[in-house]
Every structure is written in structure tokens, then in C-alpha cells.
Structure 1
Amino acid sequence: MLVVPHELSIGEIYFSPLLMSSLLGIAAALLTARLLDRYRISRYFANPPAVIIAVSIIYTILIGTFFVGI
């Protein structure tokens, strides 16, 4: 059975695993936004900020499910 920590400990302060997955999800969404802007794909979206928020939510769920194990 895979043992996954239920919280993260940094200097005697405990953080939720959702915090780590959300930070990684936002970072991945910002990288995706830069790539979309660089290749001018974001001009085809009606509301690019809403797309970036949706992509960050999708990345957070995927990272939390497969890597952090929420």
C-alpha cells in the first residue's frame, strides 16, 4: 500500500497537501498562459483570463490526484 503524507511539514508548521498542489497548478497554468501568448493562440479565446483560471483548476486537480494523493 502506498503511504502518502496527510500534511506537509515546513519548520514545525503543517500545511495541507491541497496547498502544494494548488501552487503547482497555478505555476503550470502560468507557464501554459505564456506558451499560449507566445504562439498567439490566446487570441482565439473570448475571455483569456477565465481560460487560465479553468486551466489552473484542471492542473490542480490532476496534480492533486496523481502526484500529491489528496
Structure 2
Amino acid sequence: MSNPWPHELSLGDLYFSPVIPAVVLGFVLAGITALLLNRLKLTRWLYAPSYLFLAIWALWILLIDRLWIHF
């Protein structure tokens, strides 16, 4: 029985891990989230907003992995 979830993505003859688009999309979504937090002036209450950006990025990657890629 074959696994219905993708193990690798192909672009022509090039195969790459499905984690790569998840990381890129997570970075874009974390950037949008950070812009929203800056616009709402919520980052002034934080000690280290750069660490929060990394945490949001990791959360977006986990969410994309859980809901879209299904390893």
C-alpha cells in the first residue's frame, strides 16, 4: 500500500523536501504577523521582539506542517 502524502516535491527533474516551501511560507506569514503586531503597537510591550519573530516563524511552520504537508 502506498502512502498518499508526498515525501518529496518535484520541479522538473529536481526533487526537494516539502519542508522547504513550508519554511518559506512560514517566513512570509511570520513577517506579515510581525507587521501586524507593529502596526497595532503590541511589540512595545515585548522585551525581545526578534525572539518573538523566530517563535512565530516556528509556530507557522508547525501549523503548515500539521495542516498542509502531513509528514
| Whole-Å separation in 1 of the counterparts to 2:40 and 2:49 | 14
RMSD of aligned alpha carbons: 1.2
Q: Which amino acid letter does the alignment assign opposite residue 47 of structure 2?
A: A
| Runs of 4+ deviating beyond 2 Å | none
| Whole-Å separation in 2 of the counterparts to 1:11 and 1:49 | 37
Describe the SS at the equivalent of 1:4: coil
Aligned ranges 1:40-51 → 2 under 5 Å? 40-51=41-52
- What is the number of equivalent residue pairs in this alignment? 69
Q: Which has the larger radius of gyration?
A: 2
Describe the SS at the equivalent of 1:30: helix
Percent same amino acid at aligned positions? 33
Q: TM-score, normalised by structure 1?
A: 0.90
Match for residue 24 of structure 1?
25
Unaligned runs of 5+ in 1: none
Unaligned runs of 5+ in 2: none
Match for residue 65 of structure 1?
66
Q: TM-score, normalised by structure 2?
A: 0.89
